[in-house]
Structures are given as C-alpha cells and as structure tokens.
Amino acid sequence: MMKKVIYTLIAVVFLSCSGSAHHNVEEYAGILTPETISFLLSEKPEEVDPGLYLYRNKLTRSMVESFYTQVTADREIAQAVLAAADTNDISLPLAFSLAWVESSYRVRALNRNSNSVDRGLFQLNSRTFPNLKEEHFYDPKINAEYGLAHFRFCLETGKNEVVALAMYNAGISRVRRGTPYTTLHYVARILDNEQQLLESFEKMLTDNGEIAKVLGTVLRIEDS
C-alpha cells in the first residue's frame, strides 16, 4: 500500500512539472533521480528487462526513448524498435543489438544472397516474408514489427537467446543440422553489444548527470 501511495505522489509531481516547467531540465532531473528510478524498479518482475519495464512506465518512457535515440542516432528508428520489442516482450539491449549487427541501424540496408534478398533494419529475407511489398521492407516500423515477431518465434522455438539468434541468422533447419561457424561469430557480436548497451543503460540510471543529459535531449527533441 505504501509503495502505491509513493508512486502516486511521484506521478502527480512529475506530470505537474511536465506541464508547468516544460523547458526546465533541472526540474525533471530533480524528480527522476537514481533513487526514484530505483524505487520504480523495485516493482519490476525479476525476468523483465529494466529498460523495457521503464519504457512501459509513462513516467520514464521518454527517458528510455531518448537513450536509444542516442544509440541509433535516429528517433524514428528508436521508436520503431522500442514499440516492436514491447509488443514481442524482447529485452531492449537484445533487440537493438540484433538491429545493429543486422544493418548498423540502416533502414535501406540491402544484402543479396544466391536466391533471396535481405532488406531493411532487421534484414528481412524475401523468401521468409514473400508477401511483403518492397517498400514495406524499408519502413522501419513494419520491418521492426516483422523482424522482432520472427525473433520471438525463434526464441520460443530455440528456448534460449543463443539458439534463437543462431536460428534468426542461419534458419531453423540449418541450426538443427549444425550451426555454421560464421553464425557463431554473429551471435557473439550481438551478445557483446547487448552487454555493452545494458551496462551503459544501467550506468545512466545511477548517475544524476547522465539522467539530466538524457532528459535534456528529450526536451530538445520535443521543442524541435
């Protein structure tokens, strides 16, 4: 009960601040402190990614969006991946690391194979998605939706993150026969980047200066 009361008070103060002091970064930073964020995360189920949990909270969503906008250097791409990761219940550092290794966050990324083509943010394969129109492959929102829905399928099939990543890269039947050597390097790159993103995000959550910097980015984007 006490946690609910405190949470309500935080929400009231934060929302009133967002209306009356929109341009004051210090006001926001004074509310979203490491202590406040730690309190919000105390309600998080153990298995849920901290970033995804905070993205689902209206008090901290803008902070998460801004962090990943800095990661991708593109707000539209960040929002597309965040929304699709939320829908498919995929941890944010994993979702963004998958997109980074697949396309370096390039919406127009193109890779021609011997009998198919990989396109867009999550390098959707033309044979895997035969009903998608070409322009849909290059729409970050659509690409992220299909890419992370397919990755969710790989997670449910492979039962763990490593196998799922291998299946996403090489195909389910190929992994069952034996994972290619190049796919092992692919998985390792994603896992390394995932860890880096997680550490960077967690460091931001414990540093008042980093929180203020991210919140400043939020306000600049909203004002532009």
pLDDT at 4: 52
The whole-angstrom distance between residue 210's C-alpha and the CA centroid of its chain comes to 19
Domain 2-223 fold is Lysozyme (1.10.530)
- Per-residue pLDDT tens for 43-82? 899 999 999 999 999 889 989 999 999 999 999 999 999 9
pTM: 0.87
pLDDT at residue 200 above 80? yes
